[in-house]
Structure 1
Amino acid sequence: MPMTATTVLTARALLLDMDGTLVNSDAVVERCWRRWADRHGLDGDEVMKVVHGRQGHASMAVLLPDRPMEQNHADNARMLAEETADMDGVIEVSGAAAFLASLAGLPHALVTSADVALSTARMAAAGLPLPELRITAESVGASKPDPEGFLKAAAELGVAPADCVVFEDSGAGIAAGRAAGMRVVGVGSRAGLHGPDALVQDLTEVRVESTPEGAIRLHLG
């Protein structure tokens, strides 16, 4: 539900998820994961409740708990290739291009469960510029909901976790931001189910200004 009043948050850095937050890739995620569910005799709706926000092998570990992790990693590599080859219907989340443009010169990073190839392809397909700092699947040892990616981004930007604001759409991502000790802005209706600190329907509801002290002030709503 839309926010009725504007919420103002102040931060020193913004950490941005990609899928569902900057890029609407739901169509391709659904296509690839429902095919995967069919191959494994799993219920597609149940699979879709798990996969958003996590790296593929981490989703597989939840869905097929008895399968060896090396099989999940091999399967995940195939899934990433499949997803990277399918950009049909990949578009920006409303307001993403303007939002990223407003962050020029301000500390921010992309923190995604996608790998370099997939994140580069999806951002390009959506017509979005890649932030200078990118934490991808290759950068971390643990997938969201583990906070490693967000903590690594904060460290590389030289900003304390408490001074970062995370933008996320998924339960796994919101949990990761929380575990990192950061405030979380939820983007879209899916995010609202997971208790973010603030919620916007899309990025047209976000206005960014920099303060004279070099902080970032967010107006949400």
Structure 2
Amino acid sequence: MTPAAPVLTARALLLDMDGTLVNSDAAVERSWGVWADENGFTLDEVMKVSHGRQAHATMAVLLPDRPAERNLADNRAMLARETADTDGVVPVPGAPAFLAALAGLPHALVTSADAALAGARMAAADLPVPAVRVTAEDVTASKPDPEGFLLGAATLGIAPADCVVFEDSEAGILAARAAGMRVVGVGPRAADLGPDAHVEDLTRLRVTAAPSGGIALYLTEPAPVPTA
């Protein structure tokens, strides 16, 4: 049952993609597995720092003395590989209904993917790409830098304090906090990262236009477990 009072209200929502709207974990791990093997890392070592960041930013964390040009070249190769590999990319539960509820309400996609990869993954998950989007080409710094979220808010014409970000990763939540925005954490990675609200997936959320204007977010109870 939807509670009487919203857990959060906002004038706009800013949405991460991977882990928030789409489950691309298998494809991400396949791509990073190739890079890890080539550069002497285990996949676990890479995945501990990769979530939410652009690939070249992850490489800079793992190989701080490596020339930026090599990281950018590897980043381009990885983006091409990921764009071509959408096997197993599916929507996060509840994402189709969530995006449908946002039709006509101010929202934007803010992702570390480039436009081609974002389009490929959203298409693979059969999700509409929001009309306003911020992708890797639009920013000079990767999450956890707040640039992407600030650009998304500015494009929508909404003050940062009036935005709520949906994120699954530490880098993304840090970026939202640095932008002065509130956060709904989505999925298990976000549970212990201090979001203002947390949901296991988007089935646990209802979105409506607020009576006084803006957007109201409601957390819902899990469906009851059938009894024999």
Classify the TM-score, shorter chain: over 0.9
CA distance in 2, matches of 1:27, 1:45: 13
Question: Number of matched residues?
Answer: 217
Alpha-carbon separation, structure 2, partners of 1:156 and 1:28: 30
Runs of 4+ in 1 over 2 A off after TM superposition: none
The range that moved more, 188-197 or 164-173, is 188-197
Task: State the distance in 2 between where 1:22 and 1:199 align.
Answer: 14
User: 1 CA distance for matches of 2:120 and 2:107?
Assistant: 20
Q: Which amino acid aligns with 2:184?
A: V
- The correspondence of residues 142-153 of structure 1 with structure 2, limited to 5 A, is 142-153=141-152
Q: Counterparts in 2 of 1:106-185, with a 5 A limit?
A: 106-185=105-184
8 Å contact from structure 2 (residues 6, 216) kept in 1:
no
What SS class does the counterpart of residue 109 from structure 1 fall into?
Answer: strand
| Structure 2: distance between partners of 1:24 and 1:12 | 27
Matches within 5 A, 1:83-94: 83-94=82-93
Structure 1 residues not aligned, in runs of 5+: 1-5
> What TM-score does the superposition give when structure 1 sets the normalisation length?
0.96
1:129 aligns to what SS in structure 2?
Answer: coil
| C-alpha distance in structure 1 between counterparts of 2:79 and 2:154, whole Å | 27
- Give me the CA root mean square deviation: 1.2
Name the CA distance, whole Å, in 2 between partners of 1:56 and 1:16: 19
Secondary structure of 2:87 counterpart = coil
Scaled by the length of structure 2, what TM-score is found?
0.93
Q: Does 1:215 align with 2:214?
A: yes
Question: 1:113-169: CA deviations, max 9, x gaps?
Answer: 000000000000000000000000000000000000000010111111010000000
Q: Where in structure 2 are the equivalents of 1:11-160 lying within 5 Å?
A: 11-160=10-159
Cα contact 1:146–1:176 (8 A) shared by 2: yes
User: Residue 9 of structure 2 corresponds to which residue in structure 1?
Assistant: 10
2:187 corresponds to which residue? 188
Identity within the alignment, %: 73
